[in-house]
Amino acid sequence: MTTPTYEPVGTWITDPGDPRLVVLWPAAEDYEPDDLGFPLNVARIQCERFAPALAVDAPIPDNYVAAQVMQARALVRAGMVGSGDQAGGYGDTVTVFPMDWNVKNLLRPRKGRPYFGGKR
């Protein structure tokens, strides 16, 4: 059995069969590929809206791709847990789940400032 490796491609993960998905989220293999397409697409949209804009033809940075996978995983988990804050109709609902601070930090890293023990 070979261990998958992450090869930067410069694109979002749009296909659940993308080998980068399993590297970033090993448990993705436990889900049917048809069940992962929608959360990956929603996570991509959320990340595009939150992250600083890129040039039109710029490659997608690896930290954006990692954030997409983390957000997709959070969306899948939120859908399994469920709660009263759901949006959607016709029996198809998506649990509204805010973007985790780890995902936000991948998209907009905080700039460090020196701290010398006084006021921040």
Residue of 8, 38, 13 lying closest to 25 (CA atoms): 13
In a domain, 4, yes or no: no
In a domain, 11, yes or no: no
In a domain, 13, yes or no: no
Q: Which long-range contacts (CB under 8 A, 24 or more apart) does 48-54 make?
A: 50/99, 50/104, 50/107, 50/108, 51/107, 51/108, 52/107, 52/108
In a domain, 58, yes or no: yes
In a domain, 59, yes or no: yes
When divided into structural domains, the chain yields a total of 1
In a domain, 112, yes or no: no
In a domain, 9, yes or no: no
In a domain, 60, yes or no: yes
CA distance 94 to 76: 9
Domain ranges, residue 65: 19-107
Q: Show pLDDT as tens, one digit a residue, over the chain (120 residues).
A: 567 777 888 999 999 999 999 999 999 999 999 999 999 999 999 999 999 999 999 999 999 999 999 999 988 887 754 455 554 444 455 555 567 777 888 778 777 766 677 665
Per-residue pLDDT at 78 = 76
Residue of 61, 62, 50, 25 lying closest to 40 (CA atoms): 25
